[in-house]
Structure 1
Amino acid sequence: MAQISNISKQLQLKCSGERFYELFKNKMDSITQMFPKKLLSYKIVEGNGFAHGSVVHWKYELRGTLEAKQKLHMDDTNKAITLEFIEGDLFKDFEMVAVKGEVSDGGSNGISSVKWSVEFVKANEGVAPPHNYLQFALESTKGIEAYLCNNN
Structure 2
Amino acid sequence: MGLTGKLVAAIEFRAGGDLFHELFTHKPHHVSTTSPEKVQGCDLHEGEFGKVGSRICWRYTHEGKEKTAKQLIQAIDEEKKSIEFKMLEGDLMKLYKDFLITIHIDTKDGIDLVTWTLEYETLHDDVEHPISLLSFFIDMTKDIESHHLQKA
- TM class by shorter chain equals 0.7 to 0.9
Q: Could you say which residue in structure 1 is the equivalent of 2:13?
A: 13
Letter in 1 for 2:68: E
Unaligned ranges ≥5, structure 2: none
- Determine helix, strand or coil for the equivalent of 2:125: coil
In the alignment, structure 1 residue 86 sits paired with structure 2 residue 88: yes
> What stretches of structure 1 move > 4 A for 4+ residues in a row?
none
Which range is displaced more, 119-128 or 25-34? 25-34
Letter in 1 for 2:72: K
Residues 7-32 of structure 1 show CA distances to partners (whole Å, capped at 9, x for unaligned) of 11111222322222122223222212
- Counterpart CA distance in 1 for 2:142 and 2:126 is 31
| 1:50/1:61 CA distance change after superposition, 3 Å | farther
Q: CA deviation at 1:75?
A: 1.5
Residues 81-114 of structure 1 show CA distances to partners (whole Å, capped at 9, x for unaligned) of 22211111222211011121110133xx111111
Number of residue pairs matched by the alignment: 150
- Determine helix, strand or coil for the equivalent of 2:146: helix
Letter in 2 for 1:83: F
Unaligned ranges ≥5, structure 1: none
Q: Could you say which residue in structure 1 is the equivalent of 2:105?
A: 103
Preserved contact between residue 69 and residue 87 of structure 2 (Cα < 8 Å): yes
TM-score by length of 2: 0.86
Q: CA deviation at 1:5?
A: 1.1
TM-score by length of 1: 0.86
Note the aligned Cα RMSD (angstroms).
Answer: 2.0
- Counterpart CA distance in 2 for 1:6 and 1:66 is 22
Q: Could you say which residue in structure 1 is the equivalent of 2:36?
A: 36
| 1:55/1:142 CA distance change after superposition, 3 Å | same
Q: Could you say which residue in structure 2 is the equivalent of 1:62?
A: 62
- Counterpart CA distance in 1 for 2:114 and 2:8 is 10
| 1:77/1:3 CA distance change after superposition, 3 Å | farther
Q: CA deviation at 1:2?
A: 6.2
- Determine helix, strand or coil for the equivalent of 2:52: coil
Preserved contact between residue 93 and residue 127 of structure 1 (Cα < 8 Å): yes
In the alignment, structure 1 residue 131 sits paired with structure 2 residue 135: no
Residues 94-147 of structure 1 show CA distances to partners (whole Å, capped at 9, x for unaligned) of 1011121110133xx111111111111010110100112211110111111122
- Counterpart CA distance in 2 for 1:28 and 1:50 is 9
| 1:62/1:13 CA distance change after superposition, 3 Å | same
